[in-house]
């Protein structure tokens, strides 16, 4: 079965929209910072701001040229941190090479860090403190599993990739002692030995290493769940755009073996955006002393 990420994300956005419609006073607000010109980032930011608009979240985009210095960018973040009516701040990555991304992401006030990249939020995730923000892609994947009635408790989850944004927080989230998690988690990476047999033992395989069509049919167990986080641009001269977006999974050959699989596009991607909206509303509610769900 193909998990329809667009459908589930749309349902969530509708739920958030219904909640926001009934708020009194100011609307929730998200401020997005984008530096330089990076075509995929332009597309992601456009999708994020459009989703905000549809949901009733006010969004503002702050654009800076690629020549901006790190200290200028830090000053700007500090101004956004100090503004009481800003609920969420997101700095779109990647940043130009002369800027240390981690200095920027760690400068965002933890209580406005709706991307969940600040060490305070990552620490809260590790200790099971639910007042923090969980990074959007792992949170989106957990939500996809819950809404597809896929049990994780006691299951072997194999995560391919150990990134700060996906692999590491995904592992922390699914190993939590909560009914929606309770998984046995293995994180595999570029130095992992016996990768194929580890993947074959996965009840749930999460591919997040950024290698086009890396996961092939011989690597997955019959009847397993395959979640594809990859967004890879590969050249395709026969297409009008000259490129094609493919995941980290060889979808065509893996799908027949899997019980559930997410497509690319239309799987995890829309969920990441839905969770950004959800985190922004959570920030608003915490700030305004409202109870969310
Ligand atoms: N670049 C690619 N994915 C992300 C994301 O989830 N958040 C931010 N801020 N930048 C990204």
Residue 162 sits in a domain whose CATH number is: 3.40.50.720
**Quick one: which H or E segment has residue 261?**
strand 260-261
Pocket test for ligand 1, best of 43, 51, 90, 93 (most atoms within 8 A of CB): 93
Q: Which residues contact 118 (CB under 8 A, 6 or more apart)?
A: 105, 106, 108, 110, 133
Task: State whether 221 and 160 are in the same domain.
Answer: yes
Cα(275)–Cα(230) distance, integer angstroms: 17
What pLDDT score was predicted for residue 293?
A: 62
Angle at 188 between CA 186 and CA 191, to 5 degrees: 145
Closest CA to 13 of 45, 47, 42, 43: 47
Task: State whether 141 and 246 are in the same domain.
Answer: yes
What pLDDT score was predicted for residue 23?
A: 96
Give a yes or no: residue 172 inside a domain: yes
Average pLDDT, the chain: 97
Task: State whether 91 and 150 are in the same domain.
Answer: no
Q: Which of 87, 92, 142, 228 is catalytic?
A: 92
Task: State whether 146 and 253 are in the same domain.
Answer: yes
What pLDDT score was predicted for residue 282?
A: 98
Domain of residue 217 covers: 136-268
Quick one: which atom of ligand 1 is closest to the CA of 94?
Answer: 1
- Ligand 1, atom 4: closest residue by C-alpha: 93
Pocket test for ligand 1, best of 115, 161, 166 (most atoms within 8 A of CB): 115
Give a yes or no: residue 231 inside a domain: yes
Task: State whether 148 and 190 are in the same domain.
Answer: yes
Q: Which of 87, 111, 113, 115 is catalytic?
A: 115
Task: State whether 203 and 94 are in the same domain.
Answer: no
What pLDDT score was predicted for residue 30?
A: 98
**Quick one: which H or E segment has residue 76?**
helix 70-82
161 annotated to bind ligand: yes
Task: State whether 257 and 172 are in the same domain.
Answer: yes
Domain end call among 74, 91, 109: 109
Task: State whether 97 and 153 are in the same domain.
Answer: no
What's the number of domains the chain is made of?
A: 2
Q: Is 18 an active-site residue?
A: no
pLDDT tens digit sequence for 45-63: 999 999 999 999 999 999 9
Give a yes or no: residue 114 inside a domain: no
Q: How far is the CA of 54 from the centre of ligand 1 (A)?
A: 20
Give the Cβ contact number of residue 145 at 10 Å: 24
In this structure, what CATH number is given to the domain that contains residue 71?
3.40.50.10860
Give a yes or no: residue 125 inside a domain: no
Task: State whether 155 and 233 are in the same domain.
Answer: yes
Give a yes or no: residue 286 inside a domain: no
Give a yes or no: residue 238 inside a domain: yes
pLDDT tens digit sequence for 186-225: 999 999 999 999 999 999 999 999 999 999 999 999 999 9
Q: Is 54 an active-site residue?
A: no
Give a yes or no: residue 205 inside a domain: yes
Task: State whether 91 and 149 are in the same domain.
Answer: no
pLDDT tens, the chain, 293 aa long: 999 999 999 999 999 999 999 999 999 999 999 999 999 999 999 999 999 999 999 999 999 999 999 999 999 999 999 999 999 999 999 999 999 999 999 999 999 999 999 999 999 999 999 999 999 999 999 999 999 999 999 999 999 999 999 999 999 999 999 999 999 999 999 999 999 999 999 999 999 999 999 999 999 999 999 999 999 999 999 999 899 999 999 999 999 999 999 999 999 999 999 999 999 999 999 999 997 76
Give a yes or no: residue 192 inside a domain: yes
Task: State whether 144 and 234 are in the same domain.
Answer: yes
């Amino acid at each position: 079965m193909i998990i329809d990420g667009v459908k589930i994300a749309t349902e969530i956005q509708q739920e958030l929209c219904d909640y926001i419609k009934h708020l009194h006073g100011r609307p929730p607000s998200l401020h997005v910072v984008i530096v330089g010109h990076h075509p995929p980032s332009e597309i992601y930011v456009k999708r994020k701001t459009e989703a905000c608009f549809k949901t009733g979240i006010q969004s503002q985009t702050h654009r800076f040229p690629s020549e901006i210095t790190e200290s200028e960018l830090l000053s700007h973040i500090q101004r956004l941190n100090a503004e009481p009516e800003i609920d969420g701040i997101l700095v779109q990555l990647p940043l130009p090479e002369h800027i240390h991304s981690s200095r920027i992401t760690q400068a965002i006030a933890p209580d406005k860090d709706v991307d969940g990249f600040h060490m305070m939020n990552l620490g809260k995730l590790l200790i099971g403190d639910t007042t923090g923000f969980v990074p959007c892609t792992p949170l989106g994947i957990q939500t996809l599993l819950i809404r597809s009635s896929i049990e994780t408790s006691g299951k072997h989850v194999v995560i391919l990739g150990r990134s700060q944004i996906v692999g590491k927080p995904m592992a922390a989230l699914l190993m939590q002692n909560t009914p929606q998690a309770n998984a046995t988690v293995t994180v595999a990476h570029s130095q992992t030995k016996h990768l194929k047999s580890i993947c074959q033992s996965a009840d749930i395989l999460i591919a997040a290493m950024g290698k086009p069509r890396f996961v092939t049919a011989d690597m997955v167990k019959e009847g397993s769940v395959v979640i594809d986080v990859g967004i890879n641009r590969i050249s395709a001269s026969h297409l009008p755009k000259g490129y094609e977006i493919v995941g980290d999974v060889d979808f065509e050959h893996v799908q027949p073996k899997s019980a559930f699989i997410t497509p690319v596009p239309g799987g995890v991607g829309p969920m990441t955006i839905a969770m950004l909206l959800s985190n922004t509303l959570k920030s608003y509610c915490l700030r305004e002393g409202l109870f969310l769900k």
